[in-house]
Structure 1
């Protein structure tokens, strides 16, 4: 049966939500006494759920998952689901943390066409829709439109990796005009979600990521009107032979030129 694009948006959102609910159950069942066991159980069970669900619902599509074996036959496929069953495994294993996520995205014929980022500990999914992006609460209240808010003049709240902030960050902060506040957040999905929800204004990363770290949140960010690029200003590309995608910038379009110029200038001045 031919599926409509609307079905793909709904499937991405439903799978991300259901995998997120499963992960909440894993937290309850395994507990936090053995953190390594908890993280391994979360990664495995969410991956197995998503792999089985996609095999059943979209048997002709390829899948690229952080936890699965990379089948390069996906390079010849028209449709590839790019998933991160548990983005922010470190935060998942820390009791009380909410900054971890589930990513489900669909790449088709060269571009991301659907995506969803579930934030299970917050009970919400950010998702694409046929006419934009939505915030879908898990408590049954209606979906609401999602548009990237413009930052307040004179201030930029920037979120970066907890463990690997970009080497150029200090120099960039000195160069841009707005006052910069650094906001620590865990997973890449949670960081980009924070930009889209207006909790921060910028996410910049340069230091190692893969396609599954950003595909779903990038799909939602683009649908929500955000600027998304590599730190050199070029668009990120997905379903590549080498799935490494080491850097990303997500912000409101009004901030993009200033940030990209600043990154270019300080990058040229830094060694390496």
Structure 2
């Protein structure tokens, strides 16, 4: 599995170089839906990654933000779960908080996860049961035991969470979860329906670094589901996870209804 992870990392780095080469270019961009930007680089990377990754594991299914979902993936034991550019807003604004995100999911759980964040000079990788690293350095999550004072990547926090500490927030949710894996943040939470491709690779990184990672209700996350979605993600230092679930429970219940 380590050799496979190295091959995936090489493919992610190739995609990252292409994205960096075009970063300052004048390229087409549009909105798939209001507030949901995409650009021609997303689409080019999606095609590149699909070709490279499917050649690497031909019997895998495919789930990507920039591909029409083919439910045939549900019949596959292994599935590629890919976001060609996680954090497209930062990419379009010339900010570094974006990454190529690739996960190989097996029987509903990620077994290899890679993030390539070339604008930050970072390559993150994890193998199930084999730990997680960034630029070759082993990752360990923090040891915080009390929720008040916990560091949260956020531009601002609601009044009810004024006892938490905001820290720098990249647009990429995968990189924010990576901050928990690296001990640079203590808590990342979303309370909405979100796509599996946004979080699959980062969830494995955080798990392998020792973080507690669940959906917004504290339940186990599953991947390659029929909808390709989960309600929220909650990644924390393990000592505060139960406290975070309790604090967010009413907000999660209010938000889960579509």
Please state which band the TM-score falls in when normalised by the shorter chain: 0.7 to 0.9
Query: TM-score with structure 1 length normalisation?
Result: 0.82
How far off is 1:170 after superposition?
A: 4.1
Q: Which residue of 1 aligns with 2:150?
A: 156
Mark the CA change 1:123 to 1:270 in structure 2 (over 3 Å): closer, same or farther.
closer
Query: TM-score with structure 2 length normalisation?
Result: 0.86
Q: Which residue of 1 aligns with 2:137?
A: 144
Q: Which residue of 1 aligns with 2:237?
A: 252
How far off is 1:12 after superposition?
A: 2.7
SS at match of 1:93: helix
Query: Structure 1 segments of 4 or more deviating over 6 A?
Result: 268-272
Are 1:18 and 2:10 an aligned pair?
no
Mark the CA change 1:151 to 1:27 in structure 2 (over 3 Å): closer, same or farther.
same
How far off is 1:268 after superposition?
A: 6.2
Q: Which residue of 1 aligns with 2:246?
A: 261
Mark the CA change 1:51 to 1:267 in structure 2 (over 3 Å): closer, same or farther.
closer
Aligned mate of 2:184, from 175, 180, 199: 199
Mark the CA change 1:271 to 1:196 in structure 2 (over 3 Å): closer, same or farther.
closer
Contact 1:16 1:118 in 2 (8 A): yes
Contact 1:26 1:41 in 2 (8 A): no
Larger radius of gyration between Structure 1 and Structure 2: 1
SS at match of 1:14: helix
How far off is 1:40 after superposition?
A: 1.4
> Unpaired runs of 5+ in structure 1?
137-142
Deviations 1:133-154 (A, max 9, x none): 1112xxxxxx111111223865
Contact 2:59 2:76 in 1 (8 A): no
Deviations 1:98-125 (A, max 9, x none): 1111110011123211111111211111
Q: Which residue of 1 aligns with 2:40?
A: 41
Q: Which residue of 2 aligns with 1:188?
A: 173
Root-mean-square deviation (CA, aligned residues, Å) is 2.7
Deviations 1:209-240 (A, max 9, x none): 10101101111111111110011110111001
Q: Which residue of 1 aligns with 2:113?
A: 115
Are 1:7 and 2:3 an aligned pair?
yes
Contact 2:63 2:197 in 1 (8 A): yes
Contact 2:216 2:252 in 1 (8 A): no
Q: Which residue of 2 aligns with 1:139?
A: none
> Unpaired runs of 5+ in structure 2?
32-36
Whose strand fraction is larger, Structure 1's or Structure 2's? 2
